[in-house]
């Protein structure tokens, strides 16, 4: 066989070896389609969403439509925060792909785009329980900023840049704030505990606090009193339950915060298993009817005053309506100020000790100079005049 034929056979053999090595990888990756930037999810109508699942397995967050809004089923069907739901939908729609990577499902586990391995999973369902669409976020590409993503209903894996992070806790999708009032609007705070009842009021125009009926031999712990007085400037919960889920709690403590506009927030608190629970309500206590006499001309100030009363009354009613069906668990650091005893706010007045008068010191000034020859008697010398029987030796 000629050298030329041997050379051709060697080239053919090398090509066959190369194909044998590459072909399994190509078949595994599947067909890859290049494309420009595009939305991973297209044409999602939020009105079609009946339920949402974030994550997978027992830890998944489950959100269901109820009326015009959504509730978080993991949190006793507590109303979902509309802002967080809108943010969840917007983030899902904002995932943009740069190119397709593979459409072979065998690659999903390696790229971590299976539900069990994925960094984030968000699925939207229709009213009949069927999957509407969803986003599955996998791992990031090696030596690159792109991330592997796919639609929950499709095997194709795409590369995407600037992939958002989705919240993964049930509490992330509810508004945890119970109440927030401005400290300068607080007129009085009354706390009732097993020790009795006490009232704190603002001190002048500053941020000081005074205790009604302060004993003469006691003084107020200013820092603790301020914390009790301002406890509702930001009150949030750690968990929420339906009343039937919390049994055996005696709500024997009460915290009442009265605002300058006559709104009262009333909190009833109790402890169980080292946890503090509370229920709450609000009432607008100014019961003066808002009326207008026939043919009466009212000033702008009068109109604003009546409007403020109506708005405050409406706000109190909405507060009670929102919270009356729930029992909240509040953090320990906040609970200790809501339930603090009067005695814990007091300390003894230190007795003032009498100041000793300063010792007198000789005046500083010119002194008389001592005589040049001071006359001092010798210790044993006796004056002749002192002894009448003395005899003069010269006589």
Residue 383 has pLDDT above 50, yes or no: no
What sections of 68-192 are H helices per DSSP? 82-93
State yes or no: pLDDT of 184 exceeds 70: yes
DSSP 268-289: EEEEETTEEEEEEEEEE-----
Tell me the average pLDDT of the chain. Answer: 85
Which helix or strand (DSSP H or E) is residue 186 part of?
Answer: strand 186-193
Closest CA to 41 of 81, 113, 4, 92: 92
- The mean-pLDDT minimum among 15-24, 44-53, 210-219, 361-370 falls in 15-24
The whole-number pLDDT of residue 382 equals 43
2-23 burial: b if 16+ Cβ within 10 Å, else e: eeeeeeeeeeeeeeeeeeeeee
Residues of the chain above pLDDT 70, percent: 79
Give the CA count within 13 Å in the CB-facing half-sphere of 51: 17
- By DSSP bridging, strand 263-272 and strand 253-259 are antiparallel
- Residue in this structure with the two tokens 């090696």, named with its chain if needed: 142
Q: Is the pLDDT of residue 62 over 50?
A: yes
Partner residues linked to 199 by β-bridges? 190
Query: CB count, 10 Å around CB of 359?
Result: 5
pLDDT in tens, 351-381: 655 555 655 555 555 554 444 444 444 444 4
Poorest-pLDDT segment among 20-34, 90-104, 290-304? 20-34
Residue 377: what pLDDT? 46
In this structure, what DSSP letter does residue 167 have?
P
Rama region for 30: left / alpha / beta (φ>0; ψ in -120 to 50; rest):
left
Q: Which two tokens stand for residue 387?
A: 């002894």
Q: Which two tokens stand for residue 39?
A: 């939305």
CB-based burial, 154-191: b 16+ in 10 Å, e otherwise: eebbbbbeebeebbeebbbbbbeebbebeeeebebbbb
């Amino acid at each position: 066989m000629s050298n030329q034929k041997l050379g051709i056979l060697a080239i053919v053999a090398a090509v066959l070896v190369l194909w044998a090595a590459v072909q399994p990888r190509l078949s595994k990756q599947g067909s890859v389609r290049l494309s420009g930037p595009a939305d991973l999810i297209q044409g999602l109508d939020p009105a079609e969403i009946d339920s949402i699942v974030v994550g997978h397995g027992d830890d998944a967050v489950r959100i269901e439509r109820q009326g015009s809004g959504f509730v978080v089923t993991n949190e006793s069907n507590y109303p979902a925060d509309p802002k967080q739901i809108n943010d969840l939908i917007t983030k899902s729609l904002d995932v943009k792909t740069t190119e397709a990577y593979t459409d072979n499902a065998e690659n999903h586990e390696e790229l971590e785009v299976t539900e069990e391995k994925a960094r984030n999973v968000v699925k939207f369902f229709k009213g009949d329980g069927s999957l509407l669409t969803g986003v599955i976020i996998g791992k990031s590409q090696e030596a690159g900023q792109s991330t592997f993503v796919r639609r929950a209903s499709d095997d194709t894996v795409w590369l995407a840049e600037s992939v958002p992070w989705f919240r993964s806790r049930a509490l992330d999708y509810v508004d945890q704030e119970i109440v927030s009032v401005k400290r300068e609007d607080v007129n009085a705070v009354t706390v009732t505990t097993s020790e009795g009842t006490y009232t704190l009021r603002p001190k002048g125009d500053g941020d000081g606090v005074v205790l009604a009926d302060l004993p003469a031999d006691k003084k107020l712990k200013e820092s603790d009193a301020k914390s009790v007085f301002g406890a509702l400037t930001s009150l949030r919960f750690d968990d929420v339950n339906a009343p039937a889920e919390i049994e055996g709690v005696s709500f024997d403590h009460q915290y009442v915060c009265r605002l300058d506009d006559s709104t009262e927030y009333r909190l009833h608190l109790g402890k169980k298993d080292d946890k503090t629970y509370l229920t709450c309500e609000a009432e607008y206590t100014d019961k003066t009817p808002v009326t207008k006499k026939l043919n009466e001309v009212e000033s702008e100030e009068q109109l604003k005053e009546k409007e403020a009363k109506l708005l405050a009354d409406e706000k109190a009613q909405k507060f009670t309506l929102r919270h009356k069906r729930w029992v909240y668990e509040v953090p320990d650091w906040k609970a200790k100020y809501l339930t603090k005893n009067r005695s814990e706010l007091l300390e003894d007045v230190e007795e003032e000790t009498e100041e000793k008068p300063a010792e007198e010191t000789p005046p500083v000034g010119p002194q008389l100079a001592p005589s040049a020859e001071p006359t001092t008697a010798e210790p044993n010398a006796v004056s002749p005049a002192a002894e009448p029987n003395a005899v003069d030796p010269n006589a």
